[in-house]
Amino acid sequence: MSESTNLDLSNLDIANLAQGLLENFKNVENIMTDFSKTYEQLELDPFNLKELYTEWFTTAIQNPQKLAQVNVEFWQNAMHLYQRSAMGFLGIDAEPVIQEPRSDRRFHHEDWAKEPVFKCIKQSYLLVSQWMRNLVADVEGLDAHTAEKVKFFTERYLDAMSPTNFAATNPAVLQKIIETKGGSLVHGLKNMLQDLEDGRGQLKIRMTDTEAFELGKNVAVTPGKVVFQNRMFQLIQYTPTTEKVFRRPLLVVPPWINKFYIMDLQPKNSMLRWFVEQGHTVFVISWINPDERYSDIGFDTYLEEGVLVATDVVEQITGENEFNAIGYCLGGTLLSTTLAYMKKKGDKRIRSATYFTTMIDFSEPGELGVFIDEEQISSLEERMNKEGFLEGSSMAGAFNMMRANDLIWSFYINNYLLGNDPRPFDLLYWNSDSTRMPAKMHSWYLRNMYLNNRLCKAELTVADTPIDLTTVDVPTCFVSAIEDHIAPWKSTYAGAQLFSGPVRFILGGSGHIAGIINPPEGGKYDYRVTDELVSNPDEWAVGADKHPGSWWPEWQRWIAPMSGEMVAARKPGSGKFKVLEEAPGSYVKARSGAGSAASLTKTTAEKTASKSSAQKAIQTADKAAISEKAWTIKALDTSQAADDLTAINGIGPKLAAVLKDKGIASYAALAAKSAEEIKSLLLSEGAGYSRYDTSSWPEQAKSRIKK
């Protein structure tokens, strides 16, 4: 090892370390025993990899010449590695047989390049990886979809087997073990136990300190008000920061698969705040986080009771019958469908549309395509039909797999092998705040969009209305990101060519999130833009001029002439739609895995809103006096909470929820228990709760009561 790693081993407290490891391994044993009993029916091969690789092997052996060639090449390289490694152990420098790409950040520790043993380990891994990639590449006779799946899951296997993911072969981990005398392993094990416990037997690695953030306090803080809600969404109107605003308001339709506040993380990078500062009257849809009650909710409901109702509300609040709209990702797919629906109905209120990383033509969905086939969708439908929804973590897990080294293994190493606590990071907090999807809607979306690509073919009927995107002729702006792995830019480019009106295409830098959330002050990346779209996206990219920095000002220059003259700023709640609550609202605060998202009060207004006519819904909502919160969601009403137990030092939101389930929901209830009784209650939930120090909680609670 390097000098920085070669510490004094004699100072290791072996006895204490062994005792700590023994105690924690007992905890692991208990948890895994509970896991095996509780999850005996767990599907351990949800992607049916056994059959997948059987099909690959059966096809591959039909061409033994290729297999032989790949194997011979591997053994030749292995012999070169053996020779050069031997030279390295003798102190003779030798050129590496194989090098990792510059973009590979796993091997940044200096020992991977300096120490012969780690150089040999790294190159052995890289050679095996190269060999396996060659084996699964270009297998003659294997259909394209199966071939892509084999390549994808082979890469995920190689990611998992990286030597950086094992304590004994990661120099940074070994260094930390020596420095901490084994304490890093103990703490890493505790982190793993906590994640197993939080995942109810499944290892859900924390990417960030989720208790470091609170919606409305240090994320999603742009001032605004909830001015409307129904069973599908809350509508937020943001408070103006300018005396004058554009006449045409701006309606933002976010995806239902994620929460809207990716556009409002911090003031410095808040897109919504920036829109307001440019003089737009900004309205944002905040979708409900659905539970089993929403199992029969379909895509048409998101259109009728979602975008159409929001359109009606914006019109009534502002008095304007023409406005601009933005759709982000799947929200853009919904917006484009809504525009085709409105065109068929003669509704011309949305006068321009902007699409962020939006796919409309799904013929080339990128790596997501490996999850889309009849077998996998049917399996997913079977799971969804049992619960009534798809848990948000399932979709988040698929996205994370696509960037496993960055979104899985880096945190595995940091939290477990190095024993570090997750660091606070607003973007990762949002990423972990996933949403559920109703079974009916998600099944329909996967089949009609991804599997059969019917939207771009004008083969869809939504809400009894044929959808033809070629009839949409409003000015359109597409914004995509060149490294986007969720909505590949060439796929979004293909969709942009479907509309009959003028289309501007902007291609920014980076990926699905950073390419969009790129404020001008950061000075990051660059973008290409034209108003002329040629058929070939590569030719377009070569011919489009490149501009430095954020694309936001470019979009503002495009949208401003279509936003009308300036008028007096509109304050939320100044009309008949009164303020229901402060932004970001209560719907966005419902977290998946925390029980039911909604317990709906069946009012006259709500029952009427479930009808097919969005106009009837808004009229009934007016009559029902929305200002009195006729549409409510009891499960999200925090006003009924007795006391905020998180004010007690050592109690976070998750722990407060556990205590509440145990009957301790107030300071008085906490003060009435002894520290030992509280600890006993926690231990009944799982051995992982042994780490909490409850000794001061009763006294803290008593002091809170006195205050």
| CB 232 within 8 Å of CB 268 | no
- CB of 310 within 8 A of CB of 300? no
Active site residue 120: no
Select which of 120, 329, 456, 477 is catalytic.
Answer: 329
Strands of 376-475 (E only): list them.
Answer: 389-390, 437-438, 460-462, 465-467
In whole angstroms, how far apart are CA 549 and each of 507, 521, 640, 694?
Answer: 12, 9, 47, 51
Residue position matching structure tokens 């005396």 = 243
29-32 contacts: CB < 8 A, separation 24 or more?
30/687, 31/193, 31/196, 31/197, 31/201, 31/686, 31/687, 31/688
**Cβ(357)–Cβ(551) below 8 Å:** no
Strands (E), 219-356: 224-229, 233-238, 244-246, 250-253, 282-287, 323-328, 350-356
Cα–Cα distance measured from residue 361 to residue 457, given in angstroms and rounded to the nearest whole number: 9
Burial of 319 (0-12, 13-18, 19+ CB in 10 A): exposed
Q: Backbone dihedral region of 425: left (phi > 0), alpha (psi from -120 to 50 degrees) or beta?
A: beta
CB atoms inside a 10 Å sphere around CB 458: 14
619 within 8 A of 262, measured Cβ to Cβ:
no
Give me Rg for the CA atoms of the chain: 28
Q: For residue 69, give the amino acid letter.
A: Q
Element of type H or E holding 545: strand 545-548
Enzyme catalytic residues: 329
